Amino acid sequence: MVESRDATVYFEHIRIGQVVRVAAVCALTGTEVVVMGPANTAPSALEKLALRKLKLRIERDGSEPLR
């Protein structure tokens, strides 16, 4: 969970064989994105990638941008 600009972002990690699926959900907007990566990747690296994708999605959709 990461807090940013009055928004909380929740992360969900699910291992599927040799791959990890990371979902990031913005509690403020309800926007969700998913990234996948090798299971041996550091969880923080996948969360960072998911957060970046979430920020871009929110900005693209015209919602209040996260910082």
Q: What is the pLDDT of residue 66?
A: 64
Write out the DSSP string of 48-67: HHHHHHHHHHHHHTTSPPP-
Q: Is residue 66 part of a domain?
A: no
Domain that holds residue 52: 2-60
Q: Which token pair is 52? A: 């970046």
Beta strand pairing call for 19-26 and 2-4: unpaired
Q: Report d(CA 55, CA 50) in Å as an integer.
A: 9
**E strands within the chain?**
2-4, 7-16, 19-26, 32-38
53 pLDDT exceeds 80?
yes
Domain count across the chain: 1
65 located within any domain: no
How much is the pLDDT for 62?
A: 81
pLDDT digits (tens, 9 = 90+) for 4-52: 456 899 999 999 999 999 999 999 889 999 999 999 999 999 999 999 9
